[in-house]
Chains A and B, each alone.
Chain A
Amino acid sequence: MGPDRHRPAAAGGRRPSGALEAEVLAALQSSPQALTPAEALERLGGGLSYSTVVTILSRMHDKGMLTRTKRGRAYAYAPVTDASGLTARRMRQVMEGGPDRESVLSRFVDELSTSDEELLRRLLDGDGGADLGTGARGG
């Protein structure tokens, strides 16, 4: 990271609203226990202020995306666990609506064939792309 952390509309440093929440959620999800705003900020890396993180966390809590428990003087936040897998099941139904349903969705990446995978790795290696591990964790 570092030099290539480009941001949209770099002047204001403003990211699209959903993007920050996705980042925060990913940070919380990758942590084994609930996180206070300070801990979340640490995992999110630079570019955000403490108060921004507090605002996002409380907004996400208001939306029902996070649960929180008092820890010391701050709240510790954790993602709402979807124990019954309801959301995931519902989304999977969306996916399995057959070719018609599939055709109106815009998937980020299509399935790779084995030869495509080799080709892709060669292309990215040529670009000096590091960090292409299969389970690479960021955030």
Chain B
Amino acid sequence: MQLAMFLPLLCPVLAGVFARPLGNRLEPRAATWTLTISAVVLAAASWVALAVLALTGLARIPLVADLGHWSAAVIQHNDPVSLGIAAAAGLLLVVTAATAVRMLWRRLRALLAAGLDAACMPGPDQLAVMEDPAPDAYAIPGLPGRIVVSTGMLSSLDTTERDILLAHERAHLTAHHYLFVASAQLGAAANPFLRPLATAVTYTVERWADEHAATVFGDRHRVARTVGKAALATKHAPARRRIPAAALGLIGRRDALKSAGPVPRRVAALLAPPPELRLLPLAATAVVLIAAGLSAFDAARDLHLLLELAGAG
């Protein structure tokens, strides 16, 4: 029972360590799917594990055992989980569930508000141009989504580069990238060890859109230069209040690309040969997910058997 109970809690730590290298090496679409599914499955498995630990502890309390017609003695005799661990698991479960629900609620509200903004923007087109000398460009999800580009950004880029920018933003909207990001972040809210996965997904969706633009234009170097040019233009524009990158956990230490922010890493990836689909990391991820899922299931079944035994006793 011990290992099965704690494996789902250990897997997210393992996944967290490998999230960034996976995001860097895998083909971006495969990376996005892999990391998002991993975040959701591992979050669910760790919740099941916490719930099993907490319930096992709960059933040891004589009053609860009476209510469930279980024999507290049988449970205490058979179960290796201490009351302290069970209480900690219960507390963690409540706290992370509250965090996740709060995040889900706020994210849904933000999505609705963004959809409303997208609908209310002037002009019937997907593209909305904002009169603003500060270079900026972003996509707002909605039905349909909008692409907002400032006049400052338009004048920093030449015609091909503008097309590349629009192809990139359009890829975000058509592939519903905000859903991947939100799902991974929900997983991270449910289990903070999964945060590196959410950070990696915000990066891999950018890579996905970059690679899409590169496919459309058939010139990775041109896309790389466009991303670089836009970033440099943004950097040297009059400062605007922004969410600092540090808040998103993107700033690392000084070790060239390893700790660099997303823009230099995207540019470096575009200047490198196109990514290939690698099966080994995918298979390894599948093994971790299956292990976590099976052990969570196993722990739940053990609890069920224990309670049955205690009920019969």
A interface residue numbers (CB < 8 A to B)? 1, 4-10, 15-19, 21-23, 25-26, 29-30, 44-45, 63-65, 81-82, 85, 87-88, 90-92, 94-97, 99-113, 115-117, 119-121, 123-124, 126-127, 129, 131-132, 134-139
B228 in contact with A123 (CB, 8 Å): yes
- 8 closest Cβ pairs, A-B complex: A138-B158, A18-B127, A106-B172, A26-B154, A134-B236, A100-B110, A108-B137, A109-B231
A4→B160 contact, CB < 8 A: yes
A127 to B216, CA, bound (A): 21
Size class of the B contact interface (CB-based, 8 Å): 35 or more
A4 to B225, CA, bound (A): 12
- Is the contact region of chain B dominated by helix, strand, or loop, or is it mixed? helix
Binds A, one of B29-37, B252-260, B292-300: B252-260
Tell yes or no: B282 within 8 A of A by CB: no
Contacting residues, chain B, for A15 (C-beta < 8 A): 163
What string of 1s and 0s marks CB contacts (under 8 Å) between B252-277 and chain A?
00101100111110011001000000
> Judging by beta carbons under 8 Å apart, are A6 and B222 in contact?
yes
Q: Are B125 and A110 in contact (CB under 8 A)?
A: no
Q: Assuming A100-B106, A106-B178, is B166 touching A19 (CB within 8 A)? A: yes
Chain B's closest residue to A30 (CB) is: B155
Q: Which residues of B contact A65 (CB under 8 A)?
A: 123, 129
Give the chain B neighbours of A127 by CB distance below 8 A. 221, 224-225, 271
**Sample of 11 further A-B pairs with CB below 8 A, known A26-B151, A119-B264, A134-B233:** A4-B219, A6-B219, A22-B129, A26-B155, A65-B123, A95-B136, A106-B138, A109-B231, A110-B261, A111-B235, A116-B263
List the B residue with the shortest CB-CB distance to A82. Answer: B131
Q: Are A100 and B107 in contact (CB under 8 A)?
A: yes
Q: Which residue of B lies closest to A107 (CB)?
A: B138
Determine the chain A residues whose CB is within 8 A of the CB of B256 once the complex forms.
119
Once bound together, how far apart are the Cα atoms of A25 and B157, in whole Å? 13
Which parts of B148-192 form the interface with A (CB within 8 Å)?
A: 148-149, 151, 153-163, 165-170, 172-173, 177-178, 181-182, 185
